[in-house]
Amino acid sequence: MVKSGTASSLSVNFKGKAIASDITAAQIAIWNAGRMPIKRADVLRPVLIRLTTAGVPILEASLRKISREVTKVTLDETALAQNEIGVQFEILEQNDGCVIQIIYAGPPDVPFAVSGVIIGQHSPQELRYGGSISSPADQYVKSERSNRASAWSMLLTGSLFGAFTLFARYKRPHGTAATWPDRVMLIMPLILIAIGIFEILMLGAPEPPFGFR
């Protein structure tokens, strides 16, 4: 969010204290990947998110998304001064969970740790994404490229299919009656070409005139 050491007139204060380090926003998703529901009574040791690096304080924590309101997911910030955020809920059924955003004064590579004990589940399993997360602009470009490739593939396949069908029809003895497979062979290229034209017409989803960046 803010990179230290860059020339800028922007200054950042938190509770009246100036912050000279980087300010980073991290998002952490917690969900039930099992088939059995997890209730509040099943939590033997609270689920905690900790920022383990000394001198890197958590500034703010908030819930960005909750799968369902019935889960009643809340954040416990009583130990925020110790860089701990508690995650509480009434029930998490399969694929229920939340996305938590934590803003802290430190660089993006600061590690987090998640702890807790749940009946039959032991400690939460930590998953780390090894790739890079695309920006909205990159996602838009990739989506357009994929849609364009699909559309032209449909057109090319339909055209080749149609040419082959006409050639096979031309090679058949004159006066031979058309069967239902022949009719299907004639219709399929038209369907593929129509799908390709439709996809081309649907390209270019609206975007801001000034782009995403």
* Span 129-187, pLDDT tens digits: 666 666 656 777 777 788 888 888 888 888 887 787 777 776 766 666 656 666 667 78
At 65, the amino acid letter reads K
Looking at residue 137, its pLDDT comes to 64
Rounded percentage of the chain residues whose pLDDT exceeds 90: 23
What value does the mean pLDDT take over residues 55-67? 89
Q: 7 is written with which tokens?
A: 């020339």
SS3 for 86-132 is: EEECCEECCCCEEEEEEEECCCCCCCEEEEEEECCCECCCCCCCCCC
Looking at residue 28, its pLDDT comes to 87
> Which helix (DSSP H) or strand (DSSP E) does residue 48 occupy?
strand 43-51
Looking at residue 212, its pLDDT comes to 43
Looking at residue 50, its pLDDT comes to 92
Looking at residue 89, its pLDDT comes to 95
Neighbours of 126 (CB within 10 A): 10
Q: Which of 18-32, 54-68, 120-134 has the lowest mean pLDDT?
A: 120-134
Burial class (CB in 10 A: 0-12, 13-18, 19+), 102: buried
> Which residues, 6 or more positions from 62, have their beta carbon under 8 angstroms from its beta carbon?
75, 100, 101
61 pLDDT band, cuts 50/70/90, is: very high
At 34, the amino acid letter reads G
- Is the pLDDT at 4 greater than 90? The verdict is no
Q: Which residue has tokens 């009946």?
A: 119
Per-residue pLDDT tens for 83-92? 999 999 999 9
The chain-wide mean pLDDT, for the chain, equals 80
- Is the pLDDT at 42 greater than 90? The verdict is yes
